[in-house]
Structure 1
């Protein structure tokens, strides 16, 4: 099998000075207009929901039979709204170590390690390492800002050595040998998801293990794009030596196939329809919408930043905070660690029609999501499977006929993840890494059902649910709920630590059972009780 399309190409030379700055000038104007229109749309959409009574901000009871959410911090009222991630760790009586690591192509990445300061170095060395990798436009902070309810905190208290990676650029531009103003350096920004899979992730994995002389493997956890780059890395047989260093891949809302939201959001359809020249004029050739990151740098500590971020996320993706807790100050802290720098070329891969191997070119027809054809499969096992599949197909066909909709499966043969072709176990250099996959049934940004069906029916050579594949469908989770929801410990964390306990056997840490606020004093309620009038 050829892996040429998974290997990053040589970087293109920069354009001439006049052409480069003319594009910068045009894109600065156009991208600002684009952001203004989105902001106005988000504001009016929010006001409409308020007036119509749709926006109630009603938070669900996120307790589960085996888990009750804790207060996220001891006293969030007194906490600063800061972009210093170590500050949040200290609020949890933990600490954060920061390392600068350099990729093979010269990008300087930020790697975080969340530690319990009470542990000795020797104790820390013997803990099993877990690397958490963030999604698009996000960073390592996504795994920690939920405080005592965060997956990062839970893994630390469960006895694991928790590391959190950041892809290239993060909130600052750094490179080992490119000099000058990197924000306007086209070679610096000449990368997409291939570089994240080929350079960034292996660099982070190897640097984590370089600090773990007692361990030859780690557990890799990804959210959204963190899963995309992980799947690409695991698919590439040229990186077989890296595959051997991963004992389990945990996937949170993996962004492998696009969801039906791509049919309904105008901004996605607008960006998808732009040709190479138009996209370049609107968004430039360097950083994608750097104005958003600049606004974040200026306003992150203000309430208006938190409010506008929520309105924008809701308008663009249809998300709400019903699972994030009832304190909007916590939501604000979540948003602070978003809109990191990414390249325009990366967004081309995610959204552009003219990028044949791109993510959005795997989108199935709208009708396919209505009748279930988006995750239909060709049975390969038994006559019973064939009969069941045929019946499902007939029912879907009748439903489509009733709606007078013609459903045709889209050709995805040129994309990185062809649906009906196996991706893993096809090269002797590769190692099949066990997977634990969590999909959200309210996640319409990515298509978890299509991925689940692919893994179950087209990866049978490498994966089996009886041995090295576990798929968990979360019925009430959307794309961000898998990292921000109050119940991620009960719904995701417990499953992870059970899986790791089975993996490590007697060497696994003793399981921690979280019981509401038993370990966290709710100072807010105490203070309010103290100040309330006596009946």
Structure 2
């Protein structure tokens, strides 16, 4: 692809060492503003580059943007300034801490490194939840002035019908907290996945098994993908996450998280203000894991400050991962995305 990748090790306010990456064209310095891409659950920044020339990150670099790839805490190599991976305290976090500490840490580092005053955020799935929570009145982070625009790919703000129809997910939701902890522990979530990854990640069977696992859990298919790239898509997943984070998403007993038809934030209050940056939602109509239509309706009916300041595109044949890896992604989404970044 003719690009270079630079890595930065940065430390969150609660002590986690996270990896921030910058994609650079060595022959053409970026002329546009910085863009930070935030990945989904059990994924890493690699999800934004494995499509190569067909990836959104490559599109952005070639159009002059300064592209940065974010990685949440722990990733492939959990690191903390004072805790070790065997300490349960190192795994006592969920999406709340990832929003409060990881994303601001990345934004501040990018603005410091570039000398710019604002960054554009592009998130996929869990990454969109971090963005919306960061901007919400519920969290009061005060980062609106540091963000110019936000693109939300498969926004994970309202839960979809899959949460009530998939047996494995329903099983986890029924577990009381003590039984969930007995099954999955209080440290990392299913560390056997990472042990297996270390052993077979370089073999073709790893990509097949990873795809089979995600397909079983979430009913995803590779129908729209370039089949030759499928093994590469899963080289960079899964990653270490806390059992508490998975509980946040799937358990119905913690008082937050993801439920069919319900939002991750309190709906009885407005989430956004006049300072909230413009939003662009990308919704796959075949996506049953999240419900993008409910988010659009919420913005239309309950967020008066966002009127005229958000837009959305619905892609009839796309599912949850197709907004990253569909073979026709740039033809379908490229122009609307670039138009939003350039004009709104």
Give TM class, smaller chain: over 0.9
| Structure 2 Cα separation of the partners of residues 190 and 165 of structure 1 | 21
Residue 211 of structure 1, CA deviation: 1.1
Match of 2:272 in 1: 424
| Structure 2 Cα separation of the partners of residues 127 and 450 of structure 1 | 33
SS at match of 1:187: helix
**Structure 1 residue aligned with 2:295, among 451, 472, 477?**
451
Match of 1:493 in 2: 334
Matched, 1:463 2:306: yes
The structure with more radius of gyration: 1
Whether contact under 8 Å (1:155, 1:493) holds in the other structure is no
SS at match of 2:141: helix
More helix by share: 1
| Structure 2 Cα separation of the partners of residues 324 and 420 of structure 1 | 40
Residue 243 of structure 1, CA deviation: 1.5
Matched, 1:106 2:5: no
RMSD value, Cα: 1.5
Match of 1:387 in 2: none
Residue 420 of structure 1, CA deviation: 5.5
SS at match of 2:227: coil
The number of residues matched between the two structures is 343
Residue 310 of structure 1, CA deviation: 1.9
Match of 2:66 in 1: 161
| Structure 2 Cα separation of the partners of residues 343 and 448 of structure 1 | 26
Residue deviations 1:221-241 (CA, integer Å, cap 9, x gap)? 00000010111110146311x
Residue deviations 1:267-307 (CA, integer Å, cap 9, x gap)? 10111111111111100001001111111121111111111
**Structure 2 residue aligned with 1:188, among 81, 85, 90?**
90
- The 5 Å alignment of 1:83-482 reads 92-119=1-28, 123-124=29-30, 126-178=31-83, 182-213=84-115, 215-236=116-137, 238-240=140-142, 242-327=143-228, 330-360=229-259, 363-364=260-261, 416-419=264-267, 421-425=269-273, 431-460=275-304, 462-464=305-307, 467-482=308-323
Whether contact under 8 Å (2:157, 2:264) holds in the other structure is no
Whether contact under 8 Å (1:138, 1:340) holds in the other structure is yes
Residue 419 of structure 1, CA deviation: 4.0
| Structure 1 Cα separation of the partners of residues 341 and 25 of structure 2 | 20
| Structure 1 Cα separation of the partners of residues 240 and 100 of structure 2 | 19
Match of 1:69 in 2: none
Whether contact under 8 Å (2:79, 2:85) holds in the other structure is no
Whether contact under 8 Å (1:444, 1:478) holds in the other structure is yes
Residue deviations 1:393-431 (CA, integer Å, cap 9, x gap)? xxxxxxxxxxxxxxxxxxx6xx74234642112xxxx72
| Structure 1 Cα separation of the partners of residues 227 and 204 of structure 2 | 16
More strand by share: 2
CA spacing shift, 1:416–1:259, aligned 2, 3 Å:
closer
Residue 490 of structure 1, CA deviation: 2.0
SS at match of 2:234: helix
Whether contact under 8 Å (2:37, 2:121) holds in the other structure is yes
| Structure 1 Cα separation of the partners of residues 234 and 150 of structure 2 | 26
SS at match of 1:267: helix
